[in-house]
Amino acid sequence: MKLKELFSTINPYEKKLFKPYIIAEAGVNHEGCMKIAKRLCDEAKEGGADAIKFQTYKANTIASKDSPAYWDTSKEPTLSQYELFTKHDKFWKAEMQELKKYCDKIGIEFLSTPFDIESATFLNEMMDVFKISSSDITNKPFIEFICDFGKPIILSTGASSLSEIAEAVSWIETKGNSVALLHCVLNYPTPDKNANLGMIMDLKTRFPDKIVGYSDHTLPNYMKVCEIATLLGSIIIEKHFTHDKKLPGNDHYHAMDKNDLKLFKINLDKTFEILGSFKIEALEDELPARQNARRSLVAMKDIEKGKTIRKEDLTFKRPASGVSPNFIDEIVGKTALIDIKEDDVLKWNMFK
């Protein structure tokens, strides 16, 4: 399923869970190399992601020169956002067009988060859905500009208050766009204890008509955080993605790789197999239990032909091959057509 189709096919009010649409957030982990970028696409596809997402920006439009670092500087020692973005802003329109064509070729959906007007404009030609970063949730003019393309919006909600989320949603709804909300914690990496996945439930309660998902920044470990997010109702799962978690830099060390992604998919398949149906009904494999573990009405004592049946004449025992005990009120008062022996399982044809 394409990401755009989620907005028209998923009913947020439906009382069931869905296998999530998985976005491998490659960001700028291509390190400015097209060969690595395509490798990321290949490995995201191999791992089972539905889409791979990059980021498109220029350092001089996203950050001032004195913007301080807010990441773990023991992993990424660059102390200025501007300086770090300068290292990674070489991929622009031509590179994104090449990656879009490559993604189409290998069968994975292409996405890229724009961080300025120019990138949003040329990315509009390549995507059916826009992703807006948590960092832009208060950026009203930019949100409204993207909304004017008339496409669904995925909005991350990291570091936001409820009022800020509601206000951003109101801007999007005023423009008439569909919107999905991703719970997110802007903490790189996010300790498991700070994941606060319970906020997913609050988003679903506060915005019951919206698709809700999760953008994850925890360490991959066994991918349990993303699995739990799915069980809480996340229909979109986004997580940073790399080809080598040992590489230096801000994103590689807390990203998942293709093996993490494969493990997540295997765990999800097992989990959804266990979840099974979301509609209450007896299963075919339960038929022997229905027939043998349930009970029938049974004669407590010998009942002579012509006798009127009293409740004191009856008991209930296994199997369920006779008259069910739920019909006891209909059996009491009937007349026996034959002699019924003690411990006989009662049948309807025994009575007048």
Which segment of 37-51, 57-71, 199-213 scores lowest on mean pLDDT?
57-71
pTM of the predicted structure, to 2 decimals = 0.90
Helix-, strand-, coil-residue percentages of the chain, each rounded to 5: 40, 20, 40
Closest C-alpha among 215, 214, 217, 221 to residue 260 = 221
> Would the CATH topology of 15-275 be identical to that of 284-350?
no
CATH number for domain 15-275, candidates 3.30.465.10, 2.170.150.20, 3.20.20.70, 3.90.400.10: 3.20.20.70
pLDDT (tens digit per residue) in 216-261: 999 999 999 999 999 999 999 999 999 999 998 778 888 999 999 9
CA-to-CA distance for 82 and 59, rounded, in angstroms? Answer: 6
Fold held by 284-350: Type Iii Antifreeze Protein Isoform Hplc 12 (3.90.1210)
What phi, psi does 244 have (nearest 5°)? Answer: -155, 105
Residue with tokens 């509609």: 279
pLDDT-based confidence at residue 20 (cuts at 50, 70, 90): very high
What phi, psi does 218 have (nearest 5°)? Answer: -75, 165
Q: Which long-range contacts (CB under 8 A, 24 or more apart) does 311-315 make?
A: 314/346
Structural tokens at position 201: 């439930």
> Which of 80-84, 87-91, 204-208 shows the highest mean pLDDT?
204-208
pLDDT for residue 64 = 85
Q: Where are the domains of the chain?
A: 15-275, 284-350
More confident call, 147 vs 62? 147
pLDDT (tens digit per residue) in 148-192: 999 999 999 999 999 999 999 999 999 999 999 999 999 889 999
Please spell the DSSP secondary structure of 84-130, one letter per residue: HHHHH----HHHHHHHHHHHHHHT-EEEEEE-SHHHHHHHTTT-SSE
